[in-house]
Structure 1
Amino acid sequence: MQKQLILLLLLIPMITFGQETQDTLQEVKIEVGRKSLKKSLKLTANTVTMTSNELLKAACCNLAESFETNPSIDVNFPDALTGTKQIKMLGLTSPYLMITEENIPSVRGASQAYGLSFTPGTWVESIQVTKGAGSVVNGYESISGQINTELIKPVGDIPFFLNVYGSTDSRFETNLHFNRKLSDKWSSSLFVHGNTRIAKNDMNDDGFMDNPLGRQINVMNRWQYNNAQKGWVSFISARFMDDEKQTGQVGFDKGSDRGTTNAWGSEINTRRFDLATKIGYVFPEMPYQSIGFQNAFNSHDQQSYFGLNQYNIRQNSYYSNLIFNSIISNTMHKFATGLNFAYDQYEEYVQVPGIDRSFDRIDNSVGAFFEYTYDNTDNFSLVAGARFDKHNRLGAFFTPRLHVRYNPWQKGVLRFSAGRGKRAANIFAENQQLFASSRTFNIVEASGRVYGLDPEIAWNYGISFSQQFFLFGHSADAGFDVFRTDFSNQAVADLYRSPQQVAFYGSKSIANSLQVEFNFGIIENLHARTAYKFYDIRTDYLSGSAERPLQAKHRFFGNLAYETKLQADGSQWKFDYTYNWMGRQRLPFTCTNPGEDQLPDYSSPFSLMNVQATKVFSRVFEIYAGAENLSNYRQEKAIVGSSDPFGPNFDTSIVYAPVFGRMLYAGLRFKIK
C-alpha cells in the first residue's frame, strides 16, 4: 500500500517543494470536517490547495474563472472587448506567476493573455496556490508565486461524466469525460470540451459587444501506466484546441469590414497542440529514492487583428526536466537534484502605429538545480534551493530560493520565504489589450537583447502566520501574510505619458502586499471566509515615481458557504455567496483628450456579488444555477472614444470593472460511476 501511495504521488508533490509527500498525507490530521480549501500546518511553503469541491462553488468554465472564491487571487478585467479575466497575485499580473500543469510550465510566452481560458474547469482535479518565489526545480521565472493545476487522473476517474452549461450572455458549453480501465496497469481518459457564444450583447449601449462571439473545441486524451510491484508510473497526454473569437462593434461584419474603416472589429484565432509525457521510478528497496523524467512539446499559433492593427504570434516549445530524489543519512534530510532544458521558437509580427516588423527569435536554456529539505517531523522545516542556468540571450545566472516553516505552538505556523526570479518579458503578448486602441507603440531602446530591453530581475520576500482554533465550538483560523517584491529591472508599459501613446522601457519598481484573513464556522455546515488586502505598488516612470494604474490599493473579500446534511441517497443542497469590494484605482492619463473622452484620475470604489445554488439529487446527478455581478454594476464609460473608433482617442483597455453587468447561468452534471 505504501508503494502505491508513493507511486501515485511521485510526479506531483516531489516536484513542488522537496519531497513533501509525507506532509501532504498528514493534512487530514489538521482538518476538521471536509474542507474544499485546504491549508496545511506541515508544508514548508505558503500553499493553499483548492479541491474539486471548491471549483464547483462557481461557474468555473475554465481555469481563469476558477479563482472567484479564493482570497489569495485577484480576478480583474483587462479590456472591454474580449471577456477574458486576468488574475493577479501579490498585486502582480500572471506573467510573474509560474503557472504549471502537473508541474510542467503551461501558461507562458504566447499564451499569457488567453492561456488560462484554454483549460476547462471540469478537467481540473485540484489547484495548488503558492505565494512567494517557487521551487528551483520548476525553473527560474517564478517571482510572485506558483499556481499548479492537477488534472483528473485516469486511474481514479469515473467511466462517464457530462456537464452542460448555459448563461444569459449567450454562452453555452458542454463537457464530456470518458474513462476506461484497459488492464490492471493501463487506464485512459478522453476529455471533450466545446463552448460557443452565439449572440451579440451590448448592455451599455456604446455600440460595441460586451463579450465576443466565439467557439472553442478542446480535446485531450490521457494515458496512465501504474505498476506498483515494479515501481513504475507514467502519464502520456495529448491535446488539441481550436479557439475563435470575434469582437468589436455590433454592426461589424468580418466578411466585408475587415481591413476597412466601415466598422471596427477584431478576430483572435488560436490553435494549440500539446504533448506531454511523465515517467517515474521508485527504487523498490529504497522507497525514499526516486527518479522522474518530464517532457513536453507545444505548438501555439495565434492570428489576430484589432481594427487596423495586426498581431500574429507562433510559438513552438520543448521542455524537459530530469529529477532525482533521495535522502542524506535519514529521511529528515532529503534532496532533489537534476537538469532541465527549455527551447522556445517565436515568430511574432506586430503592425501598429509606430511599429511594423517581425520579432522572430529563439530562446533556449539549460540549467542544473539542487534543493535540500530538512524536516524534523515536528515543528521546523526548510527548503533551500539553488539553480544555475545558461540562456542564449539572458546569459549565465544563479537563482537562489529559501522557504522556512516553524510551528511555535500547537495549531500555529510561521513561514518565511525569499527568492530571486529572472525572465524575458514578452511585451506584446502580455499586453494585447493595448492593440485595441489607437495608441502609438514606442519601445524606448536600451542595451538589452529582448526587444531592446534588459531582462526582468526581482527579489521576493515574504512572511506569514496562521493560527487554527475553535470559536464557539466551531473550527476557525486567522492569519496574515506580508510580501515585498523588488524589481531591479521591470519591463514597464507606461500609460502616463500620453493617451495617444504607450511606451515600453525597463525601470525599477516595488510591490508590497498585505493580506489578513479570518475564517470560521458560524454554525454547523455554514462557513465564512473573510480577507482584507492592501497593495502598495509603485514604479519609477520616466515622469517620476507613481502608483501602478488599474490596481486597487484596498480590497475586501467575503464568502459564505452552506450545505444541508448529506442524505443516505446522496441528495443535498449547497449554497454559496461571494462578495468582493474594490477600492478606487488610479486610471491611465487621459487629461489631454477632449472633454467627452476624458476619465477622472481615479475610479470609484465598487462591489461585486456572486451567488450559486446546487441541488444534488443523487450521487450521479445534480443541477446548479447562479448569478455573477448580482447587483448589476457596470463601468459607466468602458471604451474611450467609442463614437470614433478609428480616431486618435480610441482605447478599450482602461477597464477596472465589469462591462456586461448581471449574468445568470444554469447547468447540470451527470455521472456514471
Structure 2
Amino acid sequence: MRNLFFIMFLFAVTAIQAQTTISGKVLDEQNLPLPGANVWWLNTTVATATDAEGTFTLPLTNKSNKLLISYIGYVTDTLTVDSPKYITRTLKPSSGNELNEVVLDKTRKSLERSRVQATNTSTMSSKELLKAACCNIAESFETNPSIDVNFSDALTGNRQIKMLGLTSPYLLIAEENIPAVRGASQAYGLSFVPGTWVESIQITKGAGPVINGYESISGQINYELIKPVDDIPFFLNLYGSTGSRFEANAHVNRKFSDKWSSTLFLHTNTRVAKNDMNDDGFLDNPLAKQINVMNRWQYNDAEKGWVSFLNFRYMRDEKQTGEIDFDPDTDKLTTNHWGSEINTDKADISGKLGYVFPDMPFQSIGVQAAFNWHNQESYFGLTTYDIEQKSFYSNIIFSSIINNTLNKFSTGLNFTYDNYGEFINTADYSRTDNSVGAFFEYTYDNADDFSVVAGGRFDVHNRLGAFFTPRVHLRYNPWREATFRASAGRGKRAANIFAENQSLFGSSRVMSILNSGGKIYGLDPEIAWNYGVSFIQGFPLFGKNAEFVVDYYRTDFQNQAVVDLYASPQEVLFYNLDGKSYANSLQLELNYEITHHFNIRTAYKYYDIKTDYFSGTIERPLQAKHRFFTNLAYETHVKEGGRQWKFDFTYNWMGKQRLPYTGSNPAEERFDNYSPSFSLMNAQVTHSFSSVFEVYIGGENIGNYQQKKAILGSNDPFGPYFDTSIIYAPVFGQMYYAGLRFKIK
C-alpha cells in the first residue's frame, strides 16, 4: 500500500500541463469578500466559485471572452476578458427593480462538501451547530455523519470523538489552523471551547496538509472563531436542561474604527444537582462549574494588504464526581467514599499577522504564534494525577505562484515547544519536547476538473528524531456533478498515554508500561500511513437534488503505543506494537432534498479495526463495526420580521461493540464479549419570533436507552473489580432542554 503514495505522486506530476488562467477577487458593497460567488464563461461549462476569501482562478477558453459573476441578492456582472490578468470586482446589491432578473431562492447548506478542494473537506457552518444545543464543540458533531461521538466513561460525562474509527489523539485539532487540542488537553480540551464562539468547523478526512504539522493521522478538525469584524453588537444565549445543567453565553462587540474591531466572549456553565438514574450509587454526570473568557481583536486594512488577530483567554473548569455520598471536604483520598475532582486552569495568548502584496494579490506571507498554559490537578479515588503543560507554537508561511496561478506553492518554518510536569502519585513523568520543521506544499489547480496538492516536511524533534513527512491529495471531476479524490500520507506522534487515557484512572486497573527503551514513557513514537479514496455524485431525483458519497480509508500503523485491555481486567498494559494494527473505514452517504427546505441526510459506516495484542489479533474495543445515521431537517420560509420555525431530528444506530476482557472476574462483575446494539434519537425545535429573538427546545436520548450495568464493582469501589471505563452507551437516560437566543444587530 505504501507504494500507492509514490504512484499517486508520479501521476500528479505527469498530469500537470501548462494552461493560461485568469484569477481575481469578488467583493460586496462594503469591500468584504463574497465567498461562494459563481464565476463562469458565457455559454460554456467552464465555471468555478469563489473561496472563503472571495478569490477564484479560472482557465481561459477560446469559446468565450465574456466572464459572468453572480451572487444571490446582487446584480450579475459581465466583463470582457481576452488575456491573463488579475481581476477585482465589486458587486452591486440588487435593488429589486430589474425586470430581466431571475431570482433563485437557494438556501446554502449548513453542512457542505467541497467540490473544488483537493482534500476531502466538509464544512459545518454556524447554522449546522445550532441544530442541537451545542454547548461546546465536543457536542457539536451529533448531526455530522463523518464523526462518531461516544461517552468516554461512566463518571465525567465527557464526549469522545472518533474519525475513521480512531480516537481524537490521531486527529490534528486546530483553532484557526493553530494546533489547539493536544497533549494535556486531549481528554477534555474540546469541552473547553463553547459552541457559540465558533463560526464554522472544517473536517478533513485522511492525511491533511503538511503546513500545520506532522501529527495528524486520520484527519484534521479546524474550527474558526467568530470574526470581530463580522460579529453583531450583542448576543446572548441561555440554556437549561433536566440534567440540572445551566449555561450562559454572551458576546459584546465593538467597532473602534474602520480597521479595528473587538469582541468580548463570556461563557459560564454549572451542574448543581446529583443524578443517579441507574441506582448504582454513583453520579451519572459530575457536579461542575466553568468560567471561560476571551477577548478577541481584529485589525483589517484591505487597501494595504494587512490583516491580524490577537486573542486573550482564561478558563477555570471544576468537576466533582464519584459516589453520591462523597464529600470532598471529608472524603478526599480516603476510603470513606470513592470520589474524584478534576480542576483545570487554562490560559492562552495567540496572534496571527498576514500581509497580501498589493501589486501581487496572489502572493502573501503570514505569521502565527500561540502560548498556552494548561494545568490540571485531579485525583481519582486514592490516585492523584496532575499535569501541567506550557506550550509555544510559531509558524511562518509564504505563499505565491510559479509562472501563473495554475501553479501555487506554500513554504515555511515552524517551531513547537512543550514543557510537561506530569505526576501519578509520586511517579514523575515530566519532560520537555521541542521541534523545528520546514515544509513545502505545491498546488496545481486548473479550476475546472483537476487539482493536486503534494507536500512534504522535514522535522527535527528532541525525542522523535529527524524525519520526513510526505503527503499528496488529488481531485478529478470526470463528468458533471462528479468528484473523485485520492490521498496518501504519513503521520508521526508522541503518544501521551496517561493524558489520553484518563478514563482508566476511574478503575482499579494497575497501569503497566512494558519499557522497551524508547524515549516516550519508554516507548517508541507512533507512525502510521493513511490512504483513502472518495467519490461524490450529485444527481436529480424526482425533480429534487440528491447526492451520493462513498469514502474509503485505511490506516496502517508501523508502530503504535498499544493500550491493552484484554490481558486482565485488573491491569492495563502499554507496549510497542509487535505485529499489525490497521483501521479500515467505509462510509456510504445519501443526501436528498425531499421538498424545498426539507432535507434528509443518511449514512452507513463500516469499520474493520484490529490490532495484534499479546493475546492475539482482536478488534479494537468499544468500536461498533456497523453504524447507521439519519438526520432530518425542515425549516419554514422566513416571514416578515424574521419569524421562522426549524425542526431537526437525528437517529443513530450502533451495532455491537467488542468489550474489554472481564472473563476472570466473578460472574456478577463481568461483561459479555460484545455489547448489544442500540439506537439513539435526538430532536430540536427552534422558533424565531423575529431576527432578534428565538427560543429552542429539544431532547437527547428520547428513546431513554441506558447501559444497564455501567460500573463494575460499584458496591466495592476500592476492590479489585471496580471499573467505570467500559462504556458503550449513555448512562444518563432521557434529557430535555430549553434555551433562548437574543441578538442586537
Q: TM-score range by the shorter chain?
A: over 0.9
Gaps of 5+ in 1: 11-17
User: Quick one: which amino acid aligns to residue 52 of structure 1?
Assistant: S
Output the CA distance in 2 between the equivalents of 1:158 and 1:519.
33
Corresponding residue of 1:493: 563
Compare 25-34 and 312-321 and name the one that shifted more: 25-34
Q: Find 2:343's aligned residue among 247, 266, 269.
A: 269
1:645 to 2:717 alignment: yes
Corresponding residue of 2:165: 91
- Are the aligned partners of 2:33 and 2:52 in contact in 1 as well (CA < 8 Å)? no
Output the CA distance in 2 between the equivalents of 1:3 and 1:607.
46
Output the CA distance in 2 between the equivalents of 1:28 and 1:534.
39
SS of corresponding position for 1:569:
helix
Change (3 A) 1:644 1:108: same
- Are the aligned partners of 2:422 and 2:430 in contact in 1 as well (CA < 8 Å)? yes
Corresponding residue of 2:708: 636
Change (3 A) 1:144 1:28: farther
- Structure 1 residue 525 displacement after superposition: 1.5
1:350 to 2:350 alignment: no
Change (3 A) 1:131 1:368: same
Q: Find 1:479's aligned residue among 549, 554, 563.
A: 549
**Paired residues for 1:646-661 under 5 Å:** 646-661=718-733
Deviations 1:268-323 (A, max 9, x none): 00000000000000001000000000000000000000000110000000000000
Corresponding residue of 1:54: 128
- Structure 1 residue 568 displacement after superposition: 2.0
User: Quick one: which amino acid aligns to residue 518 of structure 1?
Assistant: L
Corresponding residue of 1:462: 532
Output the CA distance in 2 between the equivalents of 1:21 and 1:479.
27
Deviations 1:56-100 (A, max 9, x none): 000100010000000000001110010110000000000000000
SS of corresponding position for 1:154:
coil
Change (3 A) 1:430 1:8: farther
Corresponding residue of 2:655: 583
**Paired residues for 1:354-503 under 5 Å:** 356-503=426-573
Change (3 A) 1:569 1:32: closer
- Structure 1 residue 447 displacement after superposition: 2.5
Q: How many residues align?
A: 662
Q: Find 1:106's aligned residue among 141, 166, 180.
A: 180
Corresponding residue of 2:41: none
Change (3 A) 1:143 1:276: same
User: Quick one: which amino acid aligns to residue 36 of structure 1?
Assistant: S
Percent of aligned positions with the same letter in both sequences?
Answer: 69
User: Quick one: which amino acid aligns to residue 684 of structure 2?
Assistant: Q
Output the CA distance in 2 between the equivalents of 1:28 and 1:116.
35
- Structure 1 residue 9 displacement after superposition: 7.8
Output the CA distance in 2 between the equivalents of 1:541 and 1:470.
48
- Structure 1 residue 265 displacement after superposition: 0.3
Change (3 A) 1:24 1:600: farther
1:297 to 2:367 alignment: no
Change (3 A) 1:392 1:255: same
Corresponding residue of 2:604: 532
Q: Find 2:667's aligned residue among 588, 592, 595.
A: 595
- Structure 1 residue 470 displacement after superposition: 1.5
Deviations 1:218-258 (A, max 9, x none): 00000000011111000000100000000000000000000
- Are the aligned partners of 1:4 and 1:228 in contact in 2 as well (CA < 8 Å)? no
- Are the aligned partners of 2:26 and 2:54 in contact in 1 as well (CA < 8 Å)? no
Output the CA distance in 2 between the equivalents of 1:476 and 1:267.
49
**Paired residues for 1:135-214 under 5 Å:** 135-214=209-288
- Are the aligned partners of 2:419 and 2:433 in contact in 1 as well (CA < 8 Å)? yes
Change (3 A) 1:263 1:84: same
* Larger RCO (CA within 8 A; separation ≥ 6): 1
Output the CA distance in 2 between the equivalents of 1:232 and 1:84.
40
Corresponding residue of 1:672: 744
SS of corresponding position for 1:339:
strand
SS of corresponding position for 2:196:
helix
- Structure 1 residue 471 displacement after superposition: 1.1
User: Quick one: which amino acid aligns to residue 438 of structure 2?
Assistant: A
- Structure 1 residue 448 displacement after superposition: 1.0
Output the CA distance in 2 between the equivalents of 1:23 and 1:228.
17
Output the CA distance in 2 between the equivalents of 1:333 and 1:570.
45
- Structure 1 residue 569 displacement after superposition: 1.3
- Are the aligned partners of 2:488 and 2:530 in contact in 1 as well (CA < 8 Å)? yes
Change (3 A) 1:21 1:393: farther
1:513 to 2:562 alignment: no
RMSD between aligned alpha carbons?
1.9
Q: Find 1:38's aligned residue among 92, 108, 112.
A: 112
TM-score normalized by structure 1? Answer: 0.96
User: Quick one: which amino acid aligns to residue 501 of structure 2?
Assistant: N
Output the CA distance in 2 between the equivalents of 1:447 and 1:83.
36
Output the CA distance in 1 between the equivalents of 2:323 and 2:57.
51
Q: Find 1:257's aligned residue among 319, 324, 331.
A: 331
User: Quick one: which amino acid aligns to residue 518 of structure 2?
Assistant: G
Output the CA distance in 2 between the equivalents of 1:27 and 1:176.
36
Q: Find 1:325's aligned residue among 384, 399, 402.
A: 399
Deviations 1:104-125 (A, max 9, x none): 0000000000000000000000
Change (3 A) 1:91 1:173: same
- Are the aligned partners of 1:20 and 1:43 in contact in 2 as well (CA < 8 Å)? no
User: Quick one: which amino acid aligns to residue 361 of structure 1?
Assistant: R
Change (3 A) 1:405 1:597: same
SS of corresponding position for 1:294:
strand
Output the CA distance in 2 between the equivalents of 1:258 and 1:19.
51
Corresponding residue of 1:131: 205
- Structure 1 residue 32 displacement after superposition: 5.2
- Are the aligned partners of 1:32 and 1:475 in contact in 2 as well (CA < 8 Å)? no
Output the CA distance in 1 between the equivalents of 2:192 and 2:53.
29
1:216 to 2:286 alignment: no
Output the CA distance in 2 between the equivalents of 1:365 and 1:440.
33
1:604 to 2:604 alignment: no
- Are the aligned partners of 1:27 and 1:40 in contact in 2 as well (CA < 8 Å)? no
Q: Find 1:68's aligned residue among 142, 146, 158.
A: 142
Deviations 1:451-500 (A, max 9, x none): 00000000000000001111111111001010000001111110000000
Change (3 A) 1:574 1:595: same
SS of corresponding position for 1:183:
coil
User: Quick one: which amino acid aligns to residue 385 of structure 1?
Assistant: G
Output the CA distance in 2 between the equivalents of 1:102 and 1:7.
23
User: Quick one: which amino acid aligns to residue 666 of structure 1?
Assistant: A
Corresponding residue of 2:686: 614
Output the CA distance in 1 between the equivalents of 2:698 and 2:345.
31
Gaps of 5+ in 2: 1-23, 35-50, 59-68, 73-103
Deviations 1:519-538 (A, max 9, x none): 00112221000000000000
TM-score normalized by structure 2? Answer: 0.87
Deviations 1:564-589 (A, max 9, x none): 11112110000000000000000000
Output the CA distance in 2 between the equivalents of 1:377 and 1:65.
36
SS of corresponding position for 1:432:
helix
User: Quick one: which amino acid aligns to residue 581 of structure 2?
Assistant: S
Deviations 1:527-555 (A, max 9, x none): 00000000000001011111101000000
- Structure 1 residue 3 displacement after superposition: 8.6
- Structure 1 residue 22 displacement after superposition: 4.0
- Are the aligned partners of 1:23 and 1:43 in contact in 2 as well (CA < 8 Å)? no
- Structure 1 residue 23 displacement after superposition: 6.2
Corresponding residue of 1:14: none
